[in-house]
Amino acid sequence: MDVFQKKPQNIAIHTSPSHDLRVADCEVPKLGADECLVHVRATGICGSDVHFWKHGRIGPMIVTGDNGLGHESAGIVLQVGDAVTRFKPGDRVAMECGVPCSKPTCDFCRTGKYHACPDVVFFSTPPHHGTLRRYHAHPEAWLHHLPDHVSFEEGALLEPLTVALAGIDRSGLRLADPLVICGAGPIGLVTLLAANAAGAAPIVITDIDENRLAKAKELVPRVQPILVQKQETSQDLGARIVKELGQEAKLVLECTGVESSVHAGIYATRFGGMVFVIGVGKDFQNIPFMHMSAKEIDLRFQYRYHDIYPKSIALVNAGLIDLKPLVSHRYKLEEGLEAFATASNPAARAIKVQIIDE
């Protein structure tokens, strides 16, 4: 194919147990019958990618060998396997990177909870290589058509949006629910966009970074930002949140996973309310047990997502959620190391760093 004559190298961004980061030279994958070869045009760097590089693990998911990163990707189909019927070369696609076993004997796959499949292959989670590469073979069933006017950058941002929508679905957010979002990082900001589209009101968002709070205000002008003071107790922050919200929250969407932030969310929650944790934090954390008990506060969590990509695409396609302002930095695939340096450096003030391959 012409594209291989122009760009024969299949380069990718890899890490290893020694915490190195490098641009690796890989073979162009051979297609299975049900797979499509995708030229990956845009990939966002997720916090989990940085975590696997810097720390070598997230909970029980441990980097034990050479490991390709990236799972927020969109691209264009170059070739299709013999059994593929839904796609053809030239189709623009977003990639859902959690591929379950789909066996009829798997209770989770059979009942629609495929994200809990014990044999799921989640690209970029060890030991499976990610999609931060030029050419990637992806199962047809886990590709999604991109509408013509949705860019590859937006297609890559569908993955974090899907995380946020999964949290909103599972938390049961309703119109005019008073809402607190803890954290104005990439997941916090897409959660804000989704909550705004869902009609939550009023909304408060917290963060330790003034620039991210300013971005939140730019994205959703009606949101009330709260700058977290480093020496502030969780109880005091919770009281400030309640004052700014004008009432105790019915729902807190916690997007940091930081213990003190979870506590602040708990102290800002009304009787019978819910703190829903989307963020990823330490393996073991303390909670204000008796405070939660006396106020019947529910503490819930999510693990990835299922059946949400079509909703994400529909919302972006309809213009109800605008993801474009979230991309703060763009790098070429060959500049992957610089991209990760930016994504991992707070001084860079990055929101979402994307790696682009034209």
User: Do the bridges between strand 269-277 and strand 298-301 make them parallel or antiparallel, or are there none, so unpaired?
Assistant: parallel
For residue 316, how far is the Cα from the chain centroid? 16
**What contacts 233, CB < 8 A, 6 or more positions away?**
none
Longest dimension (CA), the chain: 67
The two three-digit tokens of residue 283, written as one number: 């393996």
pLDDT by residue, tens only, the chain of 358 residues: 455 555 668 999 999 999 999 999 999 999 999 999 999 999 999 999 999 999 999 888 999 999 999 999 999 999 999 999 999 999 999 999 999 999 999 999 999 999 999 999 999 999 999 999 999 999 999 999 999 999 999 999 999 999 999 999 999 999 999 999 999 999 999 999 999 999 999 999 999 999 999 999 999 999 999 999 989 999 999 999 999 999 999 999 999 999 999 999 999 999 999 999 999 888 899 999 999 999 999 999 999 999 999 999 999 999 999 999 999 999 999 999 999 999 999 999 999 999 999 9
Distance from C-alpha of 79 to C-alpha of 82, rounded to nearest angstrom:
10
Distance CA 243, CA 4 (A): 59
Task: Return the structure tokens found at 17.
Answer: 């147990």
Residues forming CATH 3.40.50.720 domain(s) in the chain: 163-301
Cα–Cα–Cα angle for 197, 193, 157, nearest 5°?
Answer: 120
Residue 30: exposure state from Cβ atoms within 10 A (0-12, 13-18, ≥19): exposed
pLDDT at 1: 46
Instruction: Give which of 57, 15, 70, 23 is closest to 338, Cα–Cα.
Output: 23
Give the C-alpha separation, 248 to 240, whole Å.
10
Contacts of 88 (CB under 8 A, 6+ apart): 77, 80
Interacting residues of 113 by C-beta distance below 8 A, sequence separation 6+: 306
pLDDT reported for residue 59: 85
Q: State whether residue 24 is helix, strand or coil.
A: strand
- Tell me the two tokens of residue 81: 């396997």
Query: Which CATH code, of 3.40.50.720, 3.40.50.1400, 3.40.50.10160, 3.30.2010.10, is assigned to 163-301?
Result: 3.40.50.720
In the CATH scheme, what is the code of domain 3-146+323-356?
3.90.180.10
Q: CATH 3.90.180.10 region(s) of the chain? A: 3-146+323-356
